Structure 1
Amino acid sequence: MKLTTLGFDADDTLWENERFFKLTEERFTELLIDFAEPGHLRERLLAAERRNLRTYGFGIKGFTLSMVETAIEVTEERVPARVIEQILSAGREMHAHPVETLPNVGETLEQLAPDYRMILITKGDLFDQERKLAASGLGELFDAVEIVSAKTADTYDRIFTEAGDGPERAMMVGNSLKSDVVPAIEAGSWGVHIPHDLTWALEHAEEPARALRFRRLANLGEIPLLLREIA
């Protein structure tokens, strides 16, 4: 069936994201170096993030609150107020950081937009994702924007049915196997993995190498050629 709809992840697919989380995490470990060694702190922070996903969801706010929670735990409630203030400041700086689009993004989306329904499908905080999309200058290239709390097969089935011609005639492109690729394929769509150098530990999954509708590409610029090959 001819593809009519393309879905794109945002963070670490269209623009840099995880790099800023890693830089802030390094700053966090430095702030608490007198209380715990960095490796242990990272493990505790990841455990807090995993615990808090259902409460805070994905994004900077949840990450910041998880850092505060971890600081309180590892110091046995003795964390100095100035450290808490610096953690909160680091979170605010992440929100204010300029958007840095990844290579080949703008020109590829412009090439594809006239021929396909273009949908941005991303997880995270509504305010932050809307801010990044506006700052990226890419918003006008999308026919629809979906900011969701989770990406499941049902999520893709709903979005591609409502905004397209169904999942069978859609392709999802993203850096996360767990969120962008595997559930899209389960819904009946194509799933294209474009790996990023940095991937959050909670987004790791096994590559569906045997799936007929799975592809792995080096960068977004290879999408047009792939579409011609499978047309």
Structure 2
Amino acid sequence: MTVDQEARRRAQVLIFDADDTLWENNVVFERVIDDFLAWIDHPTMDRTEIRAILDDIERANAVAHGYGSKVFLRSLGDCLARLRDRPATEAERREIDRLALALVEHRVELMPGVAEALDELAQRHKLLLLTKGDREEQQRKLDACGLLHHFGAAHIVAEKDVDTYRWLVGEHGFEPARAWMIGNSPKSDILPARAAGLNAVFIPNENTWVLEDDELDPTDAGVLRLAAFRDLLDHF
């Protein structure tokens, strides 16, 4: 064990992202998008071109309306309207709802090793949970995950930006330098946490939403990069 690892094993504040860090999430949205692109079957545009349009629409709707399956369904309808150059018909909206049924029925599927790792980490550190999105939708997942007993608090926020992390520091009164934001999203978990003075642990997920991607500084010593969630036990 290195000196840094020994230091990190002493009480820290570990803040966990939820979607695509504790449990799978975006992979379900990606499956719906695949079905949507196949259903559209545009006469002149291929799937890549249509996906680029959908990404732009999702980006705008996230700013205007937030996150979650309701906004996602709105984006699919807006994408169809742009491609057809007319509003979606009632029949088309019903088909979109049918394609996205998996989002409503989706059960929380924990990432490998999450429950076991949290059991151990909670014995040494203060654990917090920070997730963004539709409050009702995120609360449903929190209630179903079976993990809440590990956390001193769980917060659902509209956005995870620098101000959110500064608010979290003030809310719980911890020293940023002894806190770590743990997540899969460079845009929401790593970069704004670092800008607020926290350390961060980046655990990539191959199914991370494209709009959550961003460039990380490979020389930033305040970012620990791990391959899997269970690897946290080797460092904290």
TM-score (normalizing by structure 2) = 0.90
Residue 157 (structure 2) pairs with residue 143 (structure 1) = no
Residue of structure 2 in register with 1:201 after alignment: 210
| Cα 1:197–1:16 shift into 2, 3 Å | same
2:214 equivalent to 1:225: no
Runs of 4+ in 1 over 4 A off after TM superposition: none
Q: Distance in 1 between matches of 2:149 and 2:86?
A: 48
Give the alignment partner of residue 167 of structure 1, picking from 161, 176, 184: 176
Q: What do the CA deviations read for 1:148-182 (whole angstroms, capped 9, x no partner)?
A: 12112221122133224132221110001111111
| Distance in structure 2 (CA, Å) of the matches to 1:21 and 1:86 | 16
Q: What are the Cα deviations for residues 80-113 of structure 1, in whole angstroms up to 9, with x where unaligned? A: 4322112123334302211111011000011111
TM-superposed deviation, 1:56: 1.5
Q: State the secondary structure of the residue aligned to 1:98.
A: coil
Q: Which residue of 2 aligns with 1:56?
A: 65
Distance 1:89 1:120 in 2: 32
Secondary structure of the 2:111 match is coil
Amino acid at match of 2:27: R
Corresponding position of 1:126: 135
Q: Contact between 2:179 and 2:198, CA under 8 Å: does it hold in 1?
A: yes
TM-score (norm 1): 0.91
Counterpart of 2:85 in structure 1: which amino acid?
E
Unaligned runs of 5+ in 2: 1-6
CA contact (8 A) 1:5 1:164 kept: no
Partner of 2:35: 27
| Change over 3 Å in CA distance of 1:78–1:209 after alignment to 2 | closer
Identical-pair percentage:
35
- Whichever residue aligns with residue 63 of structure 2, its letter is R
Gapped regions of structure 1 (runs ≥ 5):
none
RMSD over equivalenced CA pairs, Å: 1.7
**Further displaced range: 179-188 or 152-161:** 152-161
Rounded to whole Å, the distance in 2 between the matches of 1:78 and 1:220 is: 43
